[in-house]
Structure formats: C-alpha cells, structure tokens
Amino acid sequence: MFLSSTLDGELMPGIREERARIHAHGQQYGDNAVWVDEISHPKEDGEFDPLRRVDDLLAEIDQSPLYLVLVGTDRAGSAIKVSTQSSQVSFFEIELFYAALRGRPIVVVERSDITRAPRTVEMLRLLRQTLPEASWYTAHSVQQAESLCNFFVDKVAARELSTLGRIESAYSALLLGLWRSVESQPSDGHVEWLGGTVLSGPERPNVTIIDACLDHAASGYSLQQRLSRVWVASRELMRYSWLEDSSQEWLPYWNRVFAAWNKAGGWYGLHGHIDLGYLAALNSMETVSRRWRTLNPSAEEDPAWDPPYSAQASAYYALARRVGSLRYRFRGMKRALRLADMATPRDDIGRSNVLSIRASILKGLGAFRSANEAYERVLELRVSAGASEGAIGEAMTELGFGLLFTLHWVHGHALLHDGVTMMRRASYSPGFLVRALRKEAIACRLLGRFREAKELDQQARDVAEKASVARISWKR
C-alpha cells in the first residue's frame, strides 16, 4: 500500500510521527508493506533530481494495491522543480493525478479539524469529478485519521478491501455513460479535457518549464513519465483555459500539450475517467485548432493546425470496442467512421494512416472483406511512398490479422510474422509492436502452434513492461 507523499513539504506538528506509526503498523505484514516515502526511500545526501524522484514515486504506485491519500496537513506539499525552477505541481498532486489516471484503487482520509491548502482543495475536487469510484472517509482528529489508515492497512493485507475489485466494472460503466452522452448531443466537442474546467495557474505561465517538460515528453521516456511531464506543463497554462478568449496567446502551447497527451495516452490505457483520457484531449485539441484557424486564416495551410479527425476516429473506435452494450458499440463505431471520413490527409503516408484507421473500424463493424481491401491499400501506399521499414511492417501485421477473420490463417500468419520481424529490426514503436506480437500469438493458436503463441505473449508482456504500455491499450 502506498501512503501519499509529502517529501520536503513542511508538516504540522505530529504529522511526521503519525506517518511513521502507520509505516510501523504495516511492518507486521512485511518490509515496507506500507510505502511511506521518507522512510521507505529516504533522500540520499548529494544531488536531488526532482523528476527522477517523481518517476520513482509513480513506479511504486503502479506496484501498490492501494493508494491511500492522507489529507492531514494544512500545506499542499513541496513543488516539483524543473530546470531549477519551481513548477505549479507538488509531489502530492502528481501522485494523485497519476493514480486517478491509472484507475488505481484510491481511498481518501480527510481530517475535518484542519484548514486545507487551496491547492489540496482543488485536487480533491478534481478527484471527485474524475474518479467517482474513490472511497472517501472523514476523520475528526489525528488519532482517528491514523486509526482509519491502519484499518485500511489491515484490510489490504487481508485482501478484504472491496475497492480493489471495482475498477474494471466502473470503467465499463463510465464508457457506457460516455456513449449515452454522445448520442444525446449533436456535436463531439462537448467531451472536453478535464470536463472543460481548469485548476489555478500562475499569472504568467513559465515557458521554460513548459518547453522543458514537453521536450522530456517527446524523448525516450516511458509513457508514464511522458504523461507526468505533460501534466506539469499543462498546469503552467491553466490560468488561461483553451476555451476562453484570454487564452489566445497560449493556444499554440495548449495544442502541443494536447498532442503530447494523446501520443502517450492512447497507448497508456484509460482506466480512469473519460475527462482525463486521450479522447477528451483530442476533442480539446480540435477546439484549439478551430479557434486558432479562425484567428489566423493562414494556419489552414499548416498541417500542424489540422483538426485531429483521424486521431479522434481512432480514439472513438478504441473506446467503442470496450463498451459492453452492442447497440452503443455500433453507434460508437459509426461515429468513428464519420470522423475518419472527415480527415483530409496531405500526402500518401497520411492517407495510409487514415485508411488504416478506417479499415480497423470496418473490421469492428464486421465488414471483414472491405477491411482487408483497405488494409491492402494501406500497404501499397506505404511501400510506394517509401515509408519506414517499421511502418511497412505494421501495415503487414494489420493485413495479416485481418486475413484471420476471413479464414486465411496461413497467409495471415505469414504476413504477421514477417511484419513483426520488420518492426523489431526497425525498433518500431513499442505500443504497435506489443499489439502485433499479440496478434501473431493469436494466429499461432489458430494454427495449433501453442508453444510459439505462449512465447510471443511473453515477449509482448516484456516489451509492454519495459515501455509501460498498458494492458488494455491494444487499440486496433
């Protein structure tokens, strides 16, 4: 179990001792059964890298069966420094945001006898909005808060906490709610990132922090690390909502934030609420694009400001596949198809990408032959346009998997195998490689090659773990 961190933040009298007692209570169940960072991983003397410490904290949350939020101080915690400058995000906030996005089981213990910091109030309000399955408990003293925390330590150790089993069902319910909401609206854009609300931000966003975080997100970091950096960048901008007239100067930065969020979030998986997901980010990116093109008509010639219709189509398709209701799944697929048809790619590579999404949607609608014809055209376009070896290999795996649905198992497996080989050789995107490996494993099972299928599944897990690709992120 992971107890929310304070790190360098100043604490009210008795809080550090309270945290130490909770840690000691957990020791009866094993070493560091309760992860209390200042005890379980004390800061070493010498240089302290705040972003690396963030990575360590988030990795521990991923390994913990429960994230326990103890709101027991009147301070919001210490700010994360980026390029030696303090950001708008505390270590406590980044943990809370990450656990909510990941859909981790969360329990909140709030003390009613303290005045909470405004930033803490904001984050808890956002948590209530975006994570309805969280459990909330009120304590009226430090002693009662400690007793509640120890109660949850015991429950987790005994595997008796019902919260742990509610995440997937709550996720499905949220998806179904999304589609019902979508059906009742004439426009897609109402599903905005964070529900269109923002937290507080500085009067003047720190461009140095924004650029540094977005540069980090674009580098070879894991997907969790990318999202944490993008969140820090977004918090610098939140005084100027992309929906407000006052944000005109900052729309290019919001465009970069949403693009980076989608790039990582699509493969990251969406266990948390829709408002934190990549579909909402894409819808907000479309809003930003429309506003910027209205303000600057010349931007219509710049592909960087094209509305992200194809990416929205992919997101709707990926989410529709996970809706339990066949009726709403079909409607989601049809909406995805309409969005794909609205895309206006500017070259053959772009056309192949849109056509690949369209083929996947057709397959989801059961039009297998039409889907395979589209996949064949994708492969032709990428070869003729001189696409990278990895992109050509990916197109081969998509066509190969599509052929399995028309009972061409041998040919489909051959394309899958050759495509995976090309993707490996090209060190292609790990998310796409994980997906291709899993599809090749399915082909092997159809051909009775069970040992090979098992090996491929293990390889997919290894790649996913290394790159932090979420289990449910097999989008197409």
Q: pLDDT tens for residues 8-23? A: 555 566 788 898 999 9
Give the mean model confidence (pLDDT) for residues 319-338.
Answer: 87
Helix (H) or strand (E) holding 138: strand 135-139
pTM, full prediction: 0.82
Backbone phi and psi for residue 26, each to the nearest 5 degrees, phi listed first: -75, -15
Give the mean model confidence (pLDDT) for residues 27-51.
Answer: 83
pLDDT band at 62 (very low <50, low <70, confident <90, very high): confident
pLDDT band at 188 (very low <50, low <70, confident <90, very high): very low
Q: Which region among 271-275, 315-319, 371-375, 435-439 has the lowest average model confidence (pLDDT)?
A: 271-275
Q: Which region among 12-16, 195-199, 439-443 has the lowest average model confidence (pLDDT)?
A: 12-16
Q: How far apart are CA 360 and CA 378, in angstroms?
A: 11
Cα 432 to chain centroid, rounded? 16
Q: Spell out the residues 6+ positions from residue 322 whose beta carbon is closer than 8 angstroms to its own.
A: 171, 172, 175, 472
Number of H-type helices and E-type strands within the chain: 19, 6
Q: How far apart are CA 186 and CA 198, in angstroms?
A: 24
pLDDT at 177: 58
Q: What is the CB-side half-sphere exposure of residue 236 using CA atoms within 13 A? A: 26
CA torsion sign for 20, 21, 22, 27 is positive
Among 338, 368, 319, 264, which Cα is nearest to 476's? Answer: 319
Give the mean model confidence (pLDDT) for residues 279-300.
Answer: 93
**Are 429 and 391 contacting, i.e. CB atoms less than 8 angstroms apart?**
no
Overall size of the chain counted in residues: 476
Q: pLDDT tens for residues 125-168? A: 777 765 555 588 889 998 999 999 999 999 898 887 655 555 44
β-strands 85-90, 67-71: how paired? Answer: unpaired
CA torsion sign for 353, 358, 362, 364 is positive
Q: Spell out the residues 6+ positions from residue 143 whose beta carbon is closer than 8 angstroms to its own.
A: none
pLDDT at 474: 35
Angle at CA of residue 449, ends 445 and 455, nearest 5°: 85
Q: Which CATH number fits domain 2-165: 3.30.230.20, 3.40.1160.10, 3.40.50.450, 3.40.50.1380?
A: 3.40.50.450
**Are 25 and 153 contacting, i.e. CB atoms less than 8 angstroms apart?**
yes
pLDDT at 475: 39
Among 30, 221, 2, which Cα is nearest to 105's? Answer: 2
Q: How far apart are CA 43 and CA 262, in angstroms?
A: 33
Q: Which residues of 225-253 are buried (b: 16+ CB within 10 A; e: fewer)?
A: bbbbbbbbbbbbbbbbbbeeeebeebbeb
Q: How far apart are CA 424 and CA 418, in angstroms?
A: 10
Among 326, 332, 300, which Cα is nearest to 313's? Answer: 332
CA torsion sign for 189, 190, 191, 194 is positive
**Are 89 and 80 contacting, i.e. CB atoms less than 8 angstroms apart?**
yes
**Are 192 and 287 contacting, i.e. CB atoms less than 8 angstroms apart?**
yes
**Are 402 and 364 contacting, i.e. CB atoms less than 8 angstroms apart?**
no
Cα 157 to chain centroid, rounded? 28
β-strands 106-111, 135-139: how paired? Answer: parallel
pLDDT at 262: 84
Q: Which of 57-71, 303-317, 324-338, 386-400 has the highest mean pLDDT?
A: 386-400
Task: Give the chain's mean pLDDT.
Answer: 85
Sorted by where each begins, the domain ranges of the chain are 2-165, 167-307, 388-476
Q: How many CB atoms sit inside 10 A of residue 133's CB? A: 17
Among 343, 274, 353, 266, which Cα is nearest to 309's? Answer: 343
Q: How many CB atoms sit inside 10 A of residue 87's CB? A: 25
